[in-house]
Structure 1
Amino acid sequence: MTTQHGTSFMEAWDAIGSETGVGTFRRRLVAALPIYVTITNPDSIPGLAIELGTTEGVDIGDARGSDRIRLELRGGASAQLSLAATSPDHTDIFLTVADDISQHLIDCKDVGEAVHNLVQRFTTWQRFLRRAAGGLMSANRQLGLFGELVTLRDLLAPAVGVRDAVAAWTGPANAPQDFQVGRIAVEVKGIVHSEPQVFVIDGERQLDDHGLDALVLAHHRVLRHRQAGQSLPDLIAEFRTEIGDDIATQDRFTSSLNTYGYEDADELEYSTTGYTLRDSFHYRVHSGFPRLTETDLPNGTGGLRYSIAASACEAYLIDGDDIAGWLSEPGSAGDAATAAESAVVEYKATAWTPTAPTQNADHRRSVVQALKTEIVKTVVALLNTAGGELVIGVDDDQNITGIAADLAESGLPTDDLDTYELRLIELLRERIDGIVTQQLRISFAEHDGHQTCHLSVAPSPNPRFGRPFAANNEPSRPMFWVRTGNATNSLDGHDLIDYVANHWH
């Protein structure tokens, strides 16, 4: 049956509601246009549909459905744009929304205008329903998202790259900290500049660095404006431009935003508030930091929520460049053929092969152990200072000798670089620790027909020790080395304590 022009949605719904058969039934809402009220049985799901003929040229923008109302654009021979309740439980809200939308369709001149009006009015309803359900983020939640996006843009992305930075964003998933790259985590707090600079800590795990190499608390002091500054949509659009054509990362970024509570459909509401970053500070959270963790609580207690004054954290300030160094892949410190030895460049002719004649087997064994110890010492010193590069296959006079002698000493073919790398890794893991490979990268280069081995070492977020080979196979004690100029020196006693306190804050 076709309804007369101007019949209300509810009248058409009452008429079609008597249908009891299984399937989808419809009644025309507008005589001059293919706009229908529908019912899908056996669950009596109400709907509103516009027949299109073709979807070519149909633009619904960013409009999409929700958990209560489905919006669907279907192509093919039965092309149509439709709204429908997602379940019988949502019938009442759907009828209210559809009745209002239908009033904006009755007087449309053509299908194109009807599609435009349906999308526009439905989008308005979606915003209203989100606000009514608390769907829009609170002012504090918006500020928190701004702080995390600033950290993503200014700290994480430059250090590890945009793709890995987005993958490291764990805050939306309610992880204990907002970002984690390997064993380094970052918790973010954004606070309005004019308000007391106090961090609200949710839970006993948020500032717990147990199992981490480093935990950083990022503190952003922010000016909040009305119709000024950088809005959340502006910042999000800027970062999406940084992501570029990486579709997987774009999807992951959008998914994280949605999980956090941000929907692109609410862009207009969020555009009225802007922010200006006034200051950013970073604090190293470790022993002595003003915090409460699980070990501080009596058995059976939890769900902790407390506050910390930012002024109480000033003794733990660290430079953002230090954090970036911990996060970044170790880079090359220079060209082995031209760079002089320095605090960040060291040369070794071989890793374990004597370059001068040895007297006997015992003497040769001790020389080999001393050479291996030199490799360990240099890597530990670079870890404990500013990182850098150890090049094997170049002597102290910068003559390129290559690693052929080491390969021959190990009984390896001259092109078996994989096994050579494994031997180095085994040495470092045995003499330093099991996680040393997380802060170094091994590569090979060819110079004048010789292969050189390059160990690029990142600065460590924690003190690192190495065990030298001891004479007569006696147990060796851990040693602490640093780079001083182009030399490697050991520290102990008060010198070691002072260095650790100053270098790692």
Structure 2
Amino acid sequence: MIEQVSGRRYLVIAVTRRDLFVDAYPILCAIADRIQLHGLSPEQALSDTIRSFASLIQSSQSMEIEREVGLFGELIVLLGLARNIGINEALAAWVGPQREEHDFALRGLNIEVKTTRSERRTHWVESLTQLRATGTQPLWLVSSQITSAGPGAGNALADVVRLARAEARDDEDRVALEAHLEHAGWRDRFERTCQGPWVLRTTPMAFAVTHDFPRLTPDEIRRVAAREQITQVRYQIDLTDRSPSDALPEFLADSLEEAEHV
């Protein structure tokens, strides 16, 4: 929990069972490393550490469905970019697996990719900073809707992974792609349990994240009373009735057209 002491915020983790002290020690060290070495907030460091240790002891042979859908969406955008501007630049732009603020960063703009299985264009936003532009670089949100495909149609996540690997033809690109896939949570053993196959329900749309875009940011939350007691925010937006932005950069428009045919 978070406590205020003399005007400063502290993350308090209590281990109440003596028999767990030894086992808890490496977990506490991992949390401290994420804060000191990687610059994560205490809340994020705690969440990431618990998730990593849980993955370590789980015998699961599958990805959580929402992670699978999210990675599927990122990979079809990666493939669209690769086929339009080249795999090397596309891989360099895919920064999401490295826990950067947004999923892609290239040519002076940032791209956040959201994918949903819903009939409406609804997406979950995971933090107050996910839809905040980085510096002066414009931010775009790419929205994709997918649905289950019929027999012999569409692609499962494993199929899209194979398509991405086929684009990475030289050693440098292959190494970069495999590192990205690993950081994104993909393991080849998941191929047997992938859900889908999926097809696009609608054409992917791109929205400029500007002042009138539906979002919450640290600037908005500063106006909330007792804001320091709000430690985590997750919210859903509905873009069904919102028109895509007109001034879409040409390379991104062409890449999304390619992505539509993955």
Tell me the TM-score range normalised by the shorter chain.
Answer: 0.5 to 0.7
Residue 268 of structure 1 is matched in structure 2 by 192
Query: Structure 1 residues 307 and 322 mapped into 2: Cα distance closer, same or farther (>3 Å)?
Result: same
SS at match of 2:101: coil
Say yes or no: does 1:140 pair with 2:63.
Answer: no
Instruction: State the shift of 1:132 in Å.
Output: 4.0
Query: Structure 1 residues 200 and 193 mapped into 2: Cα distance closer, same or farther (>3 Å)?
Result: closer
Query: CA deviation digits over 1:67-108, x for unaligned, max 9?
Result: xxxxxxxxxxxxxxxxxxxxxx9xxxxxxxxxxxxxxxxxxx
The structure, 1 or 2, with the larger RCO (C-alpha pairs under 8 Å, 6+ apart) is 2
2: CA distance, partners of 1:135 / 1:292: 35
Query: Structure 1 residues 319 and 267 mapped into 2: Cα distance closer, same or farther (>3 Å)?
Result: farther
Instruction: State the shift of 1:158 in Å.
Output: 4.0
Question: Percent identity of the aligned residues?
Answer: 26
Instruction: State the shift of 1:157 in Å.
Output: 2.1
2: CA distance, partners of 1:276 / 1:131: 33
Residue 236 of structure 2 is matched in structure 1 by 307
1: CA distance, partners of 2:82 / 2:221: 36
Report if aligned partners of 1:190, 1:220 keep a CA contact under 8 Å in 2.
Answer: yes
Instruction: State the shift of 1:212 in Å.
Output: 3.5
What is the TM-score when the length of structure 1 is the normalising length?
0.35
Query: CA deviation digits over 1:248-278, x for unaligned, max 9?
Result: 11111111111111111332222x5211123
Query: Structure 1 residues 316 and 238 mapped into 2: Cα distance closer, same or farther (>3 Å)?
Result: closer
Residue 278 of structure 1 is matched in structure 2 by 201
Query: Structure 1 residues 142 and 326 mapped into 2: Cα distance closer, same or farther (>3 Å)?
Result: closer
Query: Structure 1 residues 130 and 264 mapped into 2: Cα distance closer, same or farther (>3 Å)?
Result: farther
Query: Structure 1 residues 320 and 239 mapped into 2: Cα distance closer, same or farther (>3 Å)?
Result: farther
Say yes or no: does 1:205 pair with 2:129.
Answer: yes
Residue 158 of structure 2 is matched in structure 1 by 233
Query: Structure 1 residues 267 and 235 mapped into 2: Cα distance closer, same or farther (>3 Å)?
Result: same
Residue 97 of structure 2 is matched in structure 1 by 172
- The letter for the 2-side match of 1:232 is L
SS at match of 1:311: coil
Instruction: State the shift of 1:164 in Å.
Output: 1.4
| Structure 2: gaps spanning 5 or more residues | 1-22, 24-54, 256-262
| Bigger proportion of residues as strand | 1
Report if aligned partners of 1:136, 1:261 keep a CA contact under 8 Å in 2.
Answer: no
Residue 242 of structure 1 is matched in structure 2 by 167
2: CA distance, partners of 1:163 / 1:238: 15
1: CA distance, partners of 2:220 / 2:150: 42
1: CA distance, partners of 2:108 / 2:63: 31
**What is the aligned-residue RMSD (CA, Å)?**
2.9
2: CA distance, partners of 1:237 / 1:182: 27
Query: CA deviation digits over 1:355-389, x for unaligned, max 9?
Result: xxxxxxxxxxxxxxxxxxxxxxxxxxxxxxxxxxx
2: CA distance, partners of 1:319 / 1:242: 29
Report if aligned partners of 1:223, 1:278 keep a CA contact under 8 Å in 2.
Answer: yes
Residue 324 of structure 1 is matched in structure 2 by 252
Query: Structure 1 residues 326 and 304 mapped into 2: Cα distance closer, same or farther (>3 Å)?
Result: farther
| Bigger proportion of residues as helix | 2
Which structure 2 residues correspond to residues 79-478 of structure 1 after superposition, within 5 A? 132-134=58-60, 136-154=62-80, 156-194=81-119, 196-225=120-149, 228=152, 229-244=154-169, 246-270=170-194, 273-279=196-202, 280-298=204-222, 300=228, 301-311=230-240, 314-318=242-246, 322=250, 324=252
Query: Structure 1 residues 255 and 304 mapped into 2: Cα distance closer, same or farther (>3 Å)?
Result: same
2: CA distance, partners of 1:233 / 1:189: 19
2: CA distance, partners of 1:192 / 1:133: 27
Query: CA deviation digits over 1:416-475, x for unaligned, max 9?
Result: xxxxxxxxxxxxxxxxxxxxxxxxxxxxxxxxxxxxxxxxxxxxxxxxxxxxxxxxxxxx
- The letter for the 2-side match of 1:209 is A
2: CA distance, partners of 1:274 / 1:265: 17
Query: Structure 1 residues 204 and 247 mapped into 2: Cα distance closer, same or farther (>3 Å)?
Result: same
Query: Structure 1 residues 233 and 324 mapped into 2: Cα distance closer, same or farther (>3 Å)?
Result: same
Report if aligned partners of 1:282, 1:318 keep a CA contact under 8 Å in 2.
Answer: no
- The letter for the 1-side match of 2:252 is A
1: CA distance, partners of 2:185 / 2:151: 22
- The letter for the 2-side match of 1:161 is G
Query: CA deviation digits over 1:10-41, x for unaligned, max 9?
Result: xxxxxxxxxxxxxxxxxxxxxxxxxxxxxxxx
| Structure 1: gaps spanning 5 or more residues | 1-88, 90-128, 328-505
SS at match of 1:149: helix
Larger radius of gyration: 1
SS at match of 1:204: coil
Instruction: State the shift of 1:139 in Å.
Output: 1.1
Query: Runs of 4 or more off by more than 6 Å in structure 1?
Result: none
Query: CA deviation digits over 1:23-65, x for unaligned, max 9?
Result: xxxxxxxxxxxxxxxxxxxxxxxxxxxxxxxxxxxxxxxxxxx
What is the TM-score when the length of structure 2 is the normalising length?
0.65
Instruction: State the shift of 1:282 in Å.
Output: 0.7
Query: CA deviation digits over 1:377-411, x for unaligned, max 9?
Result: xxxxxxxxxxxxxxxxxxxxxxxxxxxxxxxxxxx
Instruction: State the shift of 1:183 in Å.
Output: 3.1
